[in-house]
Chains A and B, each alone.
Chain A
Amino acid sequence: MNEELDSQLSAMFDDELPAAECELLARRLSRDEQLKARWGRYAVIGAAIRVERGVRLNAALASRVSAAISAEASLTAEPTSQPARRWRSRWVQSVASAAAVAGVATVAIFWMRAQAPQTALTAAIDPIVTQEAVAKVPTTLTPVVNNTDSSSYTVPKTPGRRLVVPSTELANYVVAHSEFSSPVARRNLLSAFMATESANESSTAGTSPGSSEQPIEDVQDDAKNPQ
């Protein structure tokens, strides 16, 4: 037997061999029965020096364990515990899924909030009513008009939406063909047209065409003192 190899084996037994050499020797030790037997005798020598009772040179224990392990399935897990890695991966996947769901929910909430005022208005008078008309008909907006503590109300600026001012001809056309629509829809359309027409009249009297893009302030004052 190679003396250098035996010297390495002795140092490895004492946990005094560099890691790189240990790797190589461990590989050889697991396959070389002679080397393994020598390794086992080193253990016996240590046990005898420490006066450990029950020391046997040919102990049945090691062979019994070896036989039992042979019947077991080989461990094929990665050294740093595959279960832990699997658990980590599952955890990351769960967090990523939760984050994605939360992100979508957040975007949806913000989108709905941004759309909410517009939706409310358009549900009432869309598609005919204009923003300008809304501004000039405060009673249809909010209860703030009745709030005597507040002297003014600021209508938030709605995102720029192309103003559609229906003409009288179009209104007449719609009314003429309203026989084919339901009574409720017809009533809604007519009231919307009436509101739009009155708004148009007042806007042409006092406001410039581009003023509807600006935030409309002091609606209450406007209502009291129309320009």
Chain B
Amino acid sequence: MSADVSDLSLVRRVQRGDKGAFDALVLKYQHKLVKLVMRYVRNPAEAEDIAQEAFIKAYRALPQFRGDSAFYTWLYRIAINTAKNAVVSRDRSPIEYNIDRHETDESYDMQGRMKDAETPEGLVLTDEIRTTVNSAIDALPEDLRTAIVLRELEGLSYEEIAAAMDCPVGTVRSRIFRAREAIDRRLREVFEGGLGRVEELG
């Protein structure tokens, strides 16, 4: 399987004038981009503003994107430059961030830095989502849980997961899909039960 083929098919659609395909790219990468920008700015709202600016810059520059690199790599560079420029123009110092520590103890470090900057609504929403997802994962059969965790947490390809779990690639694809469906069902239930209201209030 060639890398980045799904992103590339969306990118090609955007290049042909289909703006809806760009929505899909934003939905896929918004969390990663916000997380990335958080290395440079202090609060999530500001990080979202910068991420938004980076997405718009990427959209405008998309006619020049030839697909020589992965779309996310290209987007990543735009976001980094946008964040750096934002920091310089606002005359703020970037957060001192130890990359090595980020790799090993990322969640602890991020939580510590963001706690006082996040709004209560944002925290509730985030925690509720995380709790829901975690409980849904715990409820999964072991083969589904292993497949989704290897994919999302370890970033393994289907082929690598198939080798690790000693099963065909098709089975991996099915397991990951079923795991997502189960988690998504729980997530929708929680959302429809009031989670969205918190977002609206926030």
Chain A residues engaging chain B, CB cutoff 8 angstroms: 6-7, 10-19, 22-23, 25-27, 29-31, 36, 38-62, 64-66, 68-70, 72, 74-84
Contacts and interface: CB of A to CB of B under 8 A. Distances in A.
Nearest to A70: B19
A16 B173 contact: yes
A75 B56 CA distance: 13
Contact of B59 (A42, A72, A81): A72
Interface of B: 1-24, 26-32, 34-35, 38, 44, 47-48, 51-52, 55-56, 59-60, 62-66, 106-107, 110-111, 114, 118, 122, 125-126, 129-130, 132-134, 137, 148-149, 151-153, 157-158, 173-174, 176-177, 180-181, 183-184, 187-188, 191, 195-196, 199
A39 B24 contact: yes
A55 B31 contact: yes
Contacts of B110: 53
Contacts of A10: 173, 176-177, 180
Contacts of B23: 30, 36, 62, 65-66, 69
Residue with the highest number of chain B CB atoms closer than 10 Å, among A18, A19, A26? A26
Closest 8 A/B residue pairs (Cβ): A30-B20, A77-B63, A48-B133, A47-B31, A40-B27, A74-B17, A30-B21, A10-B177
A30 B17 CA distance: 11
Contacts of B5: 15, 17-19, 22
B197 to A, nearest CB: 10
A79 B64 CA distance: 9
A13 B158 CA distance: 12
A181 to B, nearest CB: 74
Contacts of A74: 17, 19
A59 B35 CA distance: 14
Main secondary structure of the interface of B (DSSP, over half): helix
20 contacts: A7-B177, A13-B28, A15-B3, A16-B1, A23-B9, A25-B9, A29-B20, A31-B20, A38-B184, A40-B28, A43-B31, A44-B133, A47-B32, A49-B153, A59-B30, A61-B26, A64-B48, A64-B52, A65-B22, A75-B16
Contact of A48 (B6, B35, B130): B130
A22 B120 CA distance: 40
A62 B65 CA distance: 21
Given A12-B6, A26-B9, A75-B63, A54 B114 contact: yes
Contacts of B47: 54
Nearest to B19: A69
B168 to A, nearest CB: 13
Given A52-B35, A53-B38, A61 B51 contact: yes
A81 B61 CA distance: 10
B33 to A, nearest CB: 9
A26 B38 contact: no
Given A23-B9, A62-B23, A7 B15 contact: no
Contact of B181 (A6, A51, A70): A6
B2 A19 contact: yes
Given A36-B24, A64-B52, 5 more contacts: A18-B5, A19-B5, A53-B110, A56-B129, A66-B19
B35 A54 contact: yes
Contacts of B125: 56-57
Residue with the highest number of chain B CB atoms closer than 10 Å, among A38, A49, A68? A49
A62 B31 CA distance: 10
B9 A62 contact: no
A16 B176 CA distance: 11
Contact of A57 (B12, B44, B196): B196
Given A22-B6, A29-B21, A51-B130, A65 B173 contact: no
Contacts of B151: 14
